[in-house]
Chains A and B, each alone.
Chain A
Amino acid sequence: MELTVWTYEGPPHVGAIRIANSMEGVHFVLHAPQGDTYADLLFTMIERNKKRPPVTYTTFQARDLSGDTAEIFKAAARDAVARYRPQALLVGASCTAELIQDDPGGLAKALALDVPVVPLEMPSYQKKENWGAAETFYRLVRGFAGGAGKPAVAPEQASCNILGPTSLGFRNRDDIVEVVRIVEALGVRINTVAPMGASPADIARIPEAHFNIVLYPEIADTAARWLKRQFGQEMVTTTPIGVGATRDFIAEVARVAGVEVPADLASEGAERLSWYSRSIDSNYLTGKRVFIFGDATHAVAAARIASEELGFKVCGLGTYSREFARDVREAAQKYGVEPLITDNHLDVEDAIIAAQPELVLGTQMERHAAKRLRVPCAVISSPVHVQDFPARYSPQMGFEGANVIFDSWVHPLMMGLEEHLLQMFRGDFEFHDDAGSSHLGHGHGGAAAKAGETETPADEAREAISTEAAAPAAANAPSWTQDAERELRKIPFFVRGKARRNTESYAAENGLNPITIETLYDAKAHFGR
C-alpha cells in the first residue's frame, strides 16, 4: 500500500480509453463499477471534446456482485456493437472488475460478435496509464497490421508514419501540425498518423510506409519496435522539442528517408528562441537553477533546452516513466545531477526542497509543490489540467514549439529590473518578497507594507521549508548568530534557501560554529553565486 497524494498517471484502462478516443471506428466495452465513468470528463471537460468517448461501461453495483456480472458484461457488449457498429471492439476490465475475474476477452469471444474483438489485459495493480495506452496501441497494430506479409512499398517517394499522438497527450494536437509541416517540407510523404485520427483500416496500412517516426515513445515505442521486427521499418526516435533537437530530428528524418535537407528548413526563419535567448535582456537567466520533472520524453528534452538553449543550470532531473528511466539517467549524468526515478509525489517534493531551485519545470503535480514552496513553475508534461489544453496554437515541438517554450518558461520568473531593485532595496511597501512578481499581477501592497522590515509568516514558512530538508542532519548542524540570520534575510528569497544551505555546509566542513556574518560571506566567496 502506498500513500499517494497526487498520481502522475491514471490506471491502465484510462490509457486504453485514450487510444479508443483518439481513433475513429473503435469502441471500448469496459467492465467497471458505477462511478468509473468519471473518465469521460477527462475528454469532455479537460480536452473539451464535442463527443462522448466511445466507451460503454458496465457500471455494476454491489447488488450485482451476488448475481451474474458476466451476464451484465455480455449484454453491454452486445448492445454496444448493435448501437455503435464499430470497426473494432476493445474489451477490458478496470481495477475493481479485475478483482472479480469475469474475463471480458473470453466472454466477448463466446458472444461471436460480427466485429473484430481486441481483448486487453490491463494489470491495474502493477501498470499505469501510459503502459495501458502503449499496450492497447500495440494490440491494435498487431491485430490489424499483422495479418499479411510485408506489402510492396512504392519506391518513388519516401514515406513515413507518425506514431504516438493521442487524445489527452500534452499539446499533441499542435505538435502533429508542426511535425507534419517539417516532414512534408523534407519531401517525405505521410502515410498515416496514428492513433490520433486513425481508423482500424488506417492501422492496417501502416506497413506500407518506409519508416516510422516515434513522436511519443511512451505511447508508440512498443508498437514501433514490433513493426521494425515484423516489417523492417526503421524508427526515428529523436524528439523534436527544442531548437537543437529539432535540427537533429530533421537530420535524422533526412538520413532515414535518403533526402537532402532544403537550406531554408535548416535555418528556419520563424525560430525566435535563439535570438531571444541571446538578446541582452536574457542575460539574467544565466545559471538560474531549474528543477525538471515529467514524463521521460519531455523531461530529457527540457533539460537540453534549459542547459544549452536558455543557459539555466539544471539542478534536478527526474521522471515517473520507469520504462524510460535509462534515458533520464543518461541525461542526468550529463548535467551532473542525481536522476530521480519515482512516481511518488512526496519524493519529488522532497527532492525539490533539497535542490532549492529558482524555477520548477514539471507537471500539474509540481505546481502543488511549487505553490507550497513558493517557487515559480511552468508545466512541461502530462499530467496536465484544462488550462493546458489551450485554444491557441501552442505546440512544444518544432521551431514554433521552441518559441512557445521560451515564452512560457521565462514568464513565471521575476523580470530583470524588478529582481535587481529587490536586491538593492528590501523595505519597499509595494515591491517585496511576499508580493510576488508584479508582472503576474497578484501583489498587494497595503497590508503587507512592513513585510520588508519584519519577519512575516510567509517568510517563516519559506525558511521552515528550506531548513526542512536539512532536518536529518540537524543534530550537528551549526547554529546561526542573530546578526548572521539578519544578514541572510537581506538576500532575496529566490536564492536565500540556497545561500543558507551553502553556508551551513561550508561551516560544517570547516568546523565553524556558530555561523557569523563572516562565515556567510566566506561561504559566498567559496561557492560563488
Chain B
Amino acid sequence: MTVVYKAPAPAQSCGPETAERREVLKERGQHEVFCGLTSIMWLHRKMQDAFFLIVGSRTCAHLMQSAAGVMIFAEPRFATAIIDERDLAGMADMNEELDKVVERLLDRRPDIKLLVLVGSCPSEVIKLDLPRAANRLNGAHSPACRVMAYSGSGIETTFTQGEDNFLAALVPDMPAECADAVPSLIVVGALGDVVEDQMMRVFNGLGVGPVRFLPSRSSTTLPPVGPNTRFILAQPWVGTCAQALERRGAKRISAPFPLGEEGSTGWYRAIADSFGVEPARFDAITAPGRERARRAVERYRPVLEGKSVFLFPDSQLEPSLARFLSREMATSIIEVGTPYLNREVVGAELDMMPESVRVSEGQDVDRQIDRVHEDNPDLIVCGMGLGNPFEAEGRSTKWSIEFVFTPIQGYEQAGDLAELVARPLMRRSLLKVGS
C-alpha cells in the first residue's frame, strides 16, 4: 500500500518552494509506534499536582506499567479505570461507574489538584463522552480538584500527539490576559526544567517578557492568553494546541526548533525579531551560548561526520533531528520518517536539507525494514521494538524515545544532543565483546 505522490501546496504556506515539491513517501501498513497514552510518562512529572486517569482496557493499564513500572512508585500519578464486561453489556451505567472510580481515587488522594480523564481506543470506539463526564465531575469536585479530558488513543494519536491533545485541552482553562497587557510570550511544549531556566536567562538578557511556559509546572499557574500574547513552539508535535491558542487570539512565531546551535539561534532570533530586539543586543546575548554550543558539538563531529543515518517515525522530532544531524554533524541522511508531517510546523526544517533526503510519512514497518537492509545505514534512529533486533543484526541504533525524555534543546544542550546520537557508535568501537 505504498503511494508516492506530489504533495499539494498547503493553502497558506509561506515556505520556499521545495517544501511543496519534495516527494513524500506515504505508507500504510503496520505502524510500529506508541499511542498517545505514553505521553503521560513525562507529563505526570512535569505537572506534579495532576493525576492522569486513563479510561480504557487492561491493555492500556498494561502499556503504562510496562513502560513506567520499572520505576517504583510510592504514590503513582496515573491509573486506569478498566472498562469491564458489565459496562459493555450496558448492565452498569458507565457514567455512574466512572463517578464511583473518581470518588474512590480522590478519597485516597486528596492532594490531586487536577484530574485528567484520558480517552483510549476502547472508550473512543464505544463513544464514551469524556469531556462531558469531566464537566459533570467538575461540578462535583471543584474547586478542590479540577477535572478535564483529552484523548490519547492509538487510533487518533501517535506518541507525542498525546501531549498535544493535553495542552490543547488546557487552553480553554487558561485565564484571559488583560486587553492592555504588554506583549507576552508563551513557550509551548514540555521541556526539561533546566532548559526552561536557561531559556529564561536568555529572554531576560534580550529584554523579552513576560515569558511563560505551557505546560506550566503546576496546574494552578496556567499562563494567561489573549490578543497580545505571542507564542512559539518548542516541540514540533503541538500543532493542535497552536490552533487552540490562535483561537484565543494569540499569534504564533514561526521558527526552526531549538536543536543545535543553528536551530536554537533561529528560534531565539524569531522571538527577538518579533519583540523588536536590537540585532547588536541579540548578538551580544547569544554569542557566548553559540560559541559554547559550537565547541561542545565539535567534540562529537569526528564520530558522526560522513555517517549515513536512517530515522524511523516516532515523535515528529525527526525532521528537526535530521536537520541538526545533517547540517551541524555532517551526516548524510537517507530517510526521515515521521508519523505525521505538519508542513506548516516542520516544512522549514525539511527545506534546510538536501533534496536527496527521502521523507516518509506513516509507516509500513516491514517495508521500511526492507529499505534499511537495502540502504545499510551506519546508524538507525528507531523505537525500542526494533532497536535490539537491529543490533543483533550487527547494526548500530539510537533508540528514539530518549530524545523526548532528555533535555536536548538550547545552546547548553547541543553537545548533549550530539553525544546522545554519537554514543551508540562510540560504544560499538569501545566494546571488545560481541559482534
Segment of B27-35, B165-173, B189-197, B222-230 engaged in the interface with chain A: B27-35
Nearest CB in chain B to that of A46: its residue: B66
**Contact yes or no, A33 B35, CB < 8 A:** yes
B356 within 8 A of A: no
State in angstroms the CA–CA spacing of A60 and B80 once bound together.
22
CB distance from B328 to the nearest CB of A (A): 30
B211 within 8 A of A: no
**Contact yes or no, A372 B75, CB < 8 A:** yes
Residues of B within 8 A of A364 (CB): 69
**Contact yes or no, B392 A40, CB < 8 A:** no
**Contact yes or no, B125 A44, CB < 8 A:** no
**Contact yes or no, A35 B66, CB < 8 A:** no
Nearest CB in chain A to that of B89: its residue: A125
**Contact yes or no, B66 A38, CB < 8 A:** yes
A37 within 8 A of B: yes
**Contact yes or no, A371 B31, CB < 8 A:** no
Residues of B within 8 A of A7 (CB): 58, 61-62, 65, 80, 82
**Contact yes or no, B74 A52, CB < 8 A:** no
A10 within 8 A of B: yes
State in angstroms the CA–CA spacing of A365 and B65 once bound together.
9
State in angstroms the CA–CA spacing of A56 and B32 once bound together.
10
A525 within 8 A of B: no
Nearest CB in chain B to that of A38: its residue: B63
- Encoded as 1 (CB less than 8 Å from any A CB) or 0, chain B from 242 to 273 comes to 00000000000000000000000000000000
A342 within 8 A of B: no
State in angstroms the CA–CA spacing of A58 and B364 once bound together.
10
State in angstroms the CA–CA spacing of A274 and B245 once bound together.
69
**Contact yes or no, B85 A37, CB < 8 A:** no
**Contact yes or no, A65 B72, CB < 8 A:** no
CB distance from A55 to the nearest CB of B (A): 9
| Known A-B contacts A4-B82, A5-B76, A367-B72; A40 and B366 likewise in contact (beta carbons under 8 Å) | no
**Contact yes or no, A59 B37, CB < 8 A:** no
Partner of B125, one of A49, A100, A123, A125: A100
State in angstroms the CA–CA spacing of A105 and B33 once bound together.
26
A276 within 8 A of B: no
**Contact yes or no, A368 B125, CB < 8 A:** no
Number of interface residues of A (CB under 8 A): 64
- Encoded as 1 (CB less than 8 Å from any A CB) or 0, chain B from 28 to 47 comes to 01111111111000000000
Number of interface residues of B (CB under 8 A): 65
Complex interface residues of chain A between 22 and 36 (CB less than 8 A to chain B): 33-36
CB distance from A280 to the nearest CB of B (A): 34
Residues of A within 8 A of B59 (CB): 10-11, 13-14, 36, 94-96, 124
Residues of B within 8 A of A10 (CB): 58-59, 62, 66
**Contact yes or no, B101 A6, CB < 8 A:** no
Residue of A1, A37, A385, A386 most packed against chain B (CB within 10 A): A1
**Contact yes or no, A6 B366, CB < 8 A:** no
A126 within 8 A of B: yes
CB distance from A197 to the nearest CB of B (A): 18
**Contact yes or no, A3 B79, CB < 8 A:** yes
CB distance from B341 to the nearest CB of A (A): 15
A475 within 8 A of B: no
- A interface residues, Cβ below 8 angstroms from B: 1-7, 9-11, 13-14, 33-38, 40-42, 44-46, 48-52, 56-62, 64-65, 75-76, 79, 83, 94-96, 99-100, 123-126, 128-129, 346, 364-365, 367-368, 371-372, 383, 385-387
In the assembled complex, 29 residue pairs joining A and B whose CB atoms fall closer than 8 Å, in A order, are: A1-B84, A1-B92, A2-B81, A4-B61, A4-B79, A6-B69, A6-B76, A9-B58, A10-B62, A34-B33, A34-B155, A37-B31, A37-B385, A38-B67, A44-B386, A50-B391, A59-B154, A61-B156, A95-B58, A96-B121, A96-B155, A99-B122, A126-B84, A126-B85, A128-B58, A346-B108, A368-B76, A372-B74, A385-B69
